[in-house]
Amino acid sequence: MSSQNELSTKVILVTGSSSGFGRLTVETLARQGHCVYAAMRNPAKRNHSVASELMELARNENLNLHTIELDVTNSASIDAAVAHVVKEQGKIDVLVNNAGVMNVGITEGYTLEQVKQQMDVNYFGPVQLDRAVIPHMRKQQSGLLIHVSSLAGRLVFPYFGIYCASKFALEAVAESYRYELSAQGIDSVIVEPGPFGTSLISKSPKPEDMERLADYGDVAQLPDKMLASFEEFYQTDDAVNPQVVADDIASLIALPHKERPLRTVSGLDYGVRDLNISAEPVQRTLLETLGMLSMDPTAKGMDNGQRTA
């Protein structure tokens, strides 16, 4: 007979594990006893040092932690990674869609190609990953899709227009899966981090259409000034430790099916918790009007995703 610990151990795939929330999440989950696959681009070269650090951690602490090649913008890479995990473990219990990029700048200054690149990473990547793992989860009649969004998936920040669009899109498909997959034993949830001092800002792609930017004059400098103010904030005592996000993800995994909230706000919220609470009855009324309220896994609990973590 399996022990309770064995029953609670999950096979988990986390994208974007080379830094930030992803790196913290894989370490946190592995230390909790889960079988964790830390997915990243090119662990043999580009991210060799990170992959080596994670493997050393696994050896030193006897963790069931693995690194795996996965480019969320490449369909073949996605299919290969998921197939590899299933072949090695026989299943996949949790997918954490964490990989992301954040375009911050004059919205008009981003070329169409840049906009497509933003959507490829933050939206089309998770959509393809969900589609890759759902058949395996459906077969086992259990599973959890975690979509790491942002406050920018609920609020619109000036100069974050392209990024906000990608996160709004991600939240829409994640919530739709929430209703469509619940009866098959699969939960779909959203984590909405507030501002944290991760590498997203330093790696933010800049607008490339210089002709359009020139039309804005001095206003074109405002996004960089705003990002600088964020960086200063992250150095103060008021900044929140990004470990909070990893802990919230771990808490969601530990909860039973149909008890996981739809949305979890992590850290500072700029009023998003209140927004979520206000929107919940509107969405619930829509489902009820359509005769689909039973598709909401937490309909009876009247607490659809309004955690205050």
What's the mean pLDDT in 189-210?
A: 87
d(C-alpha 276, C-alpha 240), whole Å: 21
Please tell me the predicted confidence (pLDDT) of residue 293. 93
d(C-alpha 104, C-alpha 284), whole Å: 34
Q: What percent of the chain has pLDDT over 90?
A: 80
What are the pLDDT digits (tens) for 27-42?
999 999 999 999 999 9
HSE of 139, CA atoms in CB hemisphere, 13 A: 10
Q: Which domains does the chain have, with CATH numbers?
A: 4-295 (3.40.50.720)
Q: How confident is the model at residue 6 (pLDDT cuts 50, 70, 90)?
A: very low
Please tell me the predicted confidence (pLDDT) of residue 198. 67
Q: How confident is the model at residue 299 (pLDDT cuts 50, 70, 90)?
A: confident
Does 197 score more than 80 pLDDT?
A: no
The token pair that represents 11 in the structure block: 């096979």
Q: How confident is the model at residue 235 (pLDDT cuts 50, 70, 90)?
A: confident
Please tell me the predicted confidence (pLDDT) of residue 202. 73
Q: How confident is the model at residue 237 (pLDDT cuts 50, 70, 90)?
A: low
293 class by beta-carbon count within 10 Å (0-12 exposed, 13-18 middle, 19+ buried): middle
What are the pLDDT digits (tens) for 45-85?
889 999 999 999 999 999 999 999 999 999 999 999 999 99
Q: How confident is the model at residue 267 (pLDDT cuts 50, 70, 90)?
A: very high
Please tell me the predicted confidence (pLDDT) of residue 37. 98
Contacts with 201 (C-beta within 8 Å, 6 or more apart), sequence order: 102, 104, 227, 230, 231
Q: What is the mean pLDDT of the chain?
A: 91
Residues forming the active site: 18, 149, 163, 167
Does 23 score more than 50 pLDDT?
A: yes
Please tell me the predicted confidence (pLDDT) of residue 305. 39
Please tell me the predicted confidence (pLDDT) of residue 183. 94
What's the mean pLDDT in 164-176?
A: 98
Does 300 score more than 80 pLDDT?
A: no
What are the pLDDT digits (tens) for 88-125?
999 999 999 999 999 999 999 999 999 999 999 999 99
HSE of 37, CA atoms in CB hemisphere, 13 A: 26
Contacts with 146 (C-beta within 8 Å, 6 or more apart), sequence order: 94, 95, 96, 97, 98, 189, 190, 191, 249, 252, 253
What's the mean pLDDT in 150-155?
A: 96
Distance, CA of 232 to chain centre: 25
Please tell me the predicted confidence (pLDDT) of residue 309. 40
Q: What percent of the chain has pLDDT over 70?
A: 94
Distance, CA of 15 to chain centre: 8
